[in-house]
Amino acid sequence: MRLIDHYLAGGKAPAAARKSPVFDPNSGGIQAEVPLGDAALLDGAVDAALAAQPGWAATNPQRRARVMFKFKELVEAEIDSLAATLSREHGKVIADARGDIQRGLEVIEFACGIPHVLKGEFTQGAGPGIDVYSMRQPLGIGAGITPFNFPAMIPMWMFGVAIACGNAFILKPSERDPSVPVRLAELMREAGAPEGILQVVHGDKEMVDAILDHPAIAAVSFVGSSDIAHYVYKRGVAAGKRVQAMGGAKNHGIVMPDADLDQVVADLSGAAFGSAGERCMALPVVVPVGEDTAERLREKLLPAIAALRVGVSTDAEAHYGPVVNAAHKQRVEDWIQTGVDEGAELVVDGRGFKLQGHEEGFFIGPTLFDRVTTDMKAYQEEIFGPVLQIVRAKDFEEAVALPSRHQYGNGVAIFTRNGHAAREFAARVNVGMVGINVPIPVPVAYHSFGGWKRSAFGDTNQHGMEGVKFWTKVKTVTQRWPDGGVGDAANAFVIPTMG
């Protein structure tokens, strides 16, 4: 059985007592195993990071940027093989896997500009002969705990900025699809990063807890479900760490009566069902405003859903592939049944979908609910599968209130031709990321990514300048170069002022 090992400074780790299977989502079979590390293994990784980080931090930002440029070049040269590996372990189609990698590379491109963004502030003559300046310095060792749904993008969101800022980084990817994160670490080393600056440790809760408790790890970035994000945040902060923990989502798409419904349906097909719905920025709830809008939208959705092609991840014609494993497939199908039990109208049922020749694969057909109400658990919780729910709103005010009152506040979109309605919605809605005629409003890499409410814990977002702030600390220097003499000894006992 193929083993996807840790990537550690100094070579391979000792044989693991515990291992976890890595499935082939297309066939349902086991294709590899991944070792599950423990606190002792993490100690070794931390020791290597501690040895490497001071020298890396002392490397000037321009040279660190050159490593980022080279890393980007190496990843781009391997993007086809990386996408194939990602697709084989995750199940998303090749085009989507390439997009996963490309979105991560966009943050690496931002990190290539680290000499500019690390520039501090300077005030000349703040007082008589006194200048004040600030500098951003690395924290030391950072760690990232990443989910299965974006095994390339989210690790690069984290380690790209952290390493460019001068930190060492320890990545714990999902044990469900770990091969691409390991290869990215190998390419970072090939690009010129010193050994120990980027390491990959595999594990489950035991490794997560070890990361959160380790006194030498200064900051932790996490992406996953909200309950675990809250746990990570509380435990990490209690251990004195800086923590950003991104949780779940239930993103809404508001459809105003004047919207271009053909475009809305095209957008919803990708945003709701793309990557089998396994995206925290998927659009699983559509909110038509007014009964007429709802009926027209439903009428157009049905043929579009019927035209969706579910296939193996290597099928170039498939719109989406299988979900990641059997347990997740069962979880999604259980939520579909919950929706039925709660009284929602199941318009299209994706359960029981079988792909010829891949009957044991983890496939779920596209599913559509109508007349979903806010008291239903199936509406309140994240399903994370190819399931679209229609929640009808009687007017604009109700449409604003639905995502604003929901426990999650990751993303939201509004579809309209009315500029005033869009502007009013964007200003008032209680959600962290807003799209206007953009179904998946993930910001570009030089802005920041982050939700509100139970979608994010901590006060600093991912990537962009928010990422730089998270992975650095500010030092402020007040300096004086007197002309000569000792000065007034009496004033040495008075708090200095700039008067």
Q: Catalytic annotation on 280? A: yes
At what angle are helices 94-111 and 61-77 packed, to 10 degrees?
Answer: 170
Q: Measure the CA–CA gap between 205 and 37, rounded to whole angstroms.
A: 10
Structure tokens at 14: 């000792």
Q: Measure the CA–CA gap between 168 and 197, rounded to whole angstroms.
A: 4
Q: How many CA atoms lie within 13 A of 369 on its CB side?
A: 27
Query: Of residues 13, 46, 280, 468, which has the active-site annotation?
Result: 280
First CA to last CA across the chain, in angstroms? 73
- CA 461, 466, 469: angle at the middle one, nearest 5? 120
255 DSSP β-pair partners: 288, 415
Residues 6+ apart with CB under 8 A from 281: 249, 251, 410, 411, 433, 440, 441, 442
Q: Measure the CA–CA gap between 328 and 147, rounded to whole angstroms.
A: 13
DSSP SS3 for 335: helix
Q: Measure the CA–CA gap between 14 and 36, rounded to whole angstroms.
A: 11
DSSP classification of residue 120: -
Residues 6+ apart with CB under 8 A from 119: none
Closest CA to 158 of 200, 215, 120, 196: 200
- The catalytic residue positions are 280
